[in-house]
Chain A
Amino acid sequence: MTGYIFKRLLQMTLVLWVVSVIVFLMMSFTGDPVFMVVPIDATDAEIAQARRLLGLDQSLFVQYGRFVTSLVQGDFGNSYVFRQPAMALILERLPATLEMVLVAMALALVVAIPLGVYAGANPNSRISRTIMAGSLLGISLPGFWVGMVLIFLFAVHWGIFPSSGRGDTAEIFGLRVSLLTADGWHHIILPAVTLSLATMAILLRMTRAGMMEVNRQDFMKFARAKGATRRDVLYKHGLKNALIPVITIFGLQLGDLIAFATITETIFSWPGMGKLLIDSIYRADRPVIVVYLMLVALIFVVINFLVDIIYTLIDPRITLK
Chain B
Amino acid sequence: MTEAAKQPLLDVHDLRTHFHTFGGTVKAVNGVSFDIAEGEVMGLVGESGGGKSVVGFSILGLIDSPGKIEGGQILLDGEDLVKAGEARLREIRGREISMVFQDPMTSLNPLHSVGRQMDEVLRLHSDLDAQARHSACVEMLESVGISRATERLRAYPHQFSGGMRQRVVIAIALLARPRLIIADEPTTALDVTIQSQILKLMRRQIAEKGASMILVTHDLAVVSEMADRITVLYCGNVVERGRARELIEAPAHPYTRGLIDSIPDPSNRHERLKQIPGTVPDIRNLPQGCNFRDRCPRAQALCAEIEPKLSAQRGSLSAACHFPLNPGESA
| B109 A227 Cβ-Cβ under 8 A | no
Give Cα A224 to B124, complex, Å.
Answer: 11
With A227-B125, A315-B111, A317-B156 in contact, is A221–B101 under 8 Å at CB? yes
Please tell me if A89 contacts chain B, counting CB pairs below 8 Å.
Answer: no
Query: Ordered nearest first, which 7 A-B pairs have the shortest CB separation?
Result: A227-B94, A227-B93, A218-B106, A226-B94, A225-B99, A316-B156, A222-B107
Task: Please pick, from B106, B108, B124, the residue contacting A227 in the complex, using a CB distance under 8 A.
Answer: B124
Contacting residues of chain A (210-240) with chain B, CB-CB under 8 angstroms: 217-219, 221-230, 236-237, 240
| B94 A225 Cβ-Cβ under 8 A | yes
Please tell me if A314 contacts chain B, counting CB pairs below 8 Å.
Answer: yes
Interface, chain A (partner B; CB < 8 A): 124, 217-219, 221-230, 236-237, 240-241, 314-317
| B95 A222 Cβ-Cβ under 8 A | no
| B107 A219 Cβ-Cβ under 8 A | yes
With A226-B93, A227-B125, A317-B156 in contact, is A218–B111 under 8 Å at CB? no
Contacts of A314 in B (CB 8 A): 111
Give Cα A228 to B172, complex, Å.
Answer: 13
Closest to B89 in A: A227
Task: Please pick, from A219, A225, A229, the residue contacting B108 in the complex, using a CB distance under 8 A.
Answer: A219
Give Cα A1 to B158, complex, Å.
Answer: 21
In whole Å, how far is A314's beta carbon from the nearest beta carbon of chain B?
7
Please tell me if B110 contacts chain A, counting CB pairs below 8 Å.
Answer: yes
Please tell me if B103 contacts chain A, counting CB pairs below 8 Å.
Answer: yes
In whole Å, how far is A234's beta carbon from the nearest beta carbon of chain B?
13
Which range holds the interface residue count of chain B?
A: 20 to 34
| B62 A221 Cβ-Cβ under 8 A | yes
| B121 A226 Cβ-Cβ under 8 A | yes
In whole Å, how far is A254's beta carbon from the nearest beta carbon of chain B?
23
Closest to B156 in A: A316
Interface, chain B (partner A; CB < 8 A): 57, 60, 62, 65, 86, 90-95, 98-99, 101, 103, 106-113, 120-121, 124-125, 156, 158, 169, 172
Contacts of B112 in A (CB 8 A): 236-237, 240
With A218-B101, A218-B103, A218-B106 in contact, is A224–B93 under 8 Å at CB? yes
Give Cα A240 to B156, complex, Å.
Answer: 15
Seed contacts A221-B57, A240-B112; 5 additional CB < 8 Å A-B pairs = A222-B169, A227-B95, A237-B112, A316-B110, A316-B158
* Selected A-B contacts with CB under 8 Å, 15 pairs: A218-B101, A222-B108, A223-B109, A225-B94, A225-B98, A227-B91, A227-B92, A227-B95, A228-B120, A229-B90, A237-B112, A240-B112, A241-B110, A316-B110, A317-B158
In whole Å, how far is A183's beta carbon from the nearest beta carbon of chain B?
43
In whole Å, how far is A129's beta carbon from the nearest beta carbon of chain B?
15
In whole Å, how far is A318's beta carbon from the nearest beta carbon of chain B?
10
In whole Å, how far is B183's beta carbon from the nearest beta carbon of chain A?
12
In whole Å, how far is A241's beta carbon from the nearest beta carbon of chain B?
6
| B111 A227 Cβ-Cβ under 8 A | no
Contacts of A124 in B (CB 8 A): 65
Contacts of B108 in A (CB 8 A): 219, 222
Contacts of A241 in B (CB 8 A): 109-111
Give Cα A223 to B112, complex, Å.
Answer: 12
In whole Å, how far is A231's beta carbon from the nearest beta carbon of chain B?
11
With A224-B62, A226-B98, A317-B158 in contact, is A218–B124 under 8 Å at CB? no
Give Cα A218 to B91, complex, Å.
Answer: 20
Give Cα A315 to B109, complex, Å.
Answer: 11
In whole Å, how far is B79's beta carbon from the nearest beta carbon of chain A?
16
Give Cα A156 to B99, complex, Å.
Answer: 61
In whole Å, how far is B169's beta carbon from the nearest beta carbon of chain A?
8
| A226 B107 Cβ-Cβ under 8 A | no
Contacts of B62 in A (CB 8 A): 221, 224-225
Closest to A238 in B: B109
In whole Å, how far is B97's beta carbon from the nearest beta carbon of chain A?
9
Contacts of B109 in A (CB 8 A): 219, 222-223, 237, 241
Scoring A218, A219, A226 by chain B CB atoms within 10 A of each residue's CB, the highest score goes to A226
With A218-B101, A221-B62, A225-B94 in contact, is A317–B110 under 8 Å at CB? yes
Contacts of A230 in B (CB 8 A): 86
| B172 A226 Cβ-Cβ under 8 A | yes
Give Cα A240 to B98, complex, Å.
Answer: 24
Give Cα A126 to B99, complex, Å.
Answer: 33
Give Cα A236 to B50, complex, Å.
Answer: 33
Closest to A314 in B: B111
Closest to A226 in B: B94
Give Cα A237 to B124, complex, Å.
Answer: 15
Give Cα A224 to B101, complex, Å.
Answer: 12
Give Cα A226 to B169, complex, Å.
Answer: 11
Give Cα A316 to B116, complex, Å.
Answer: 14
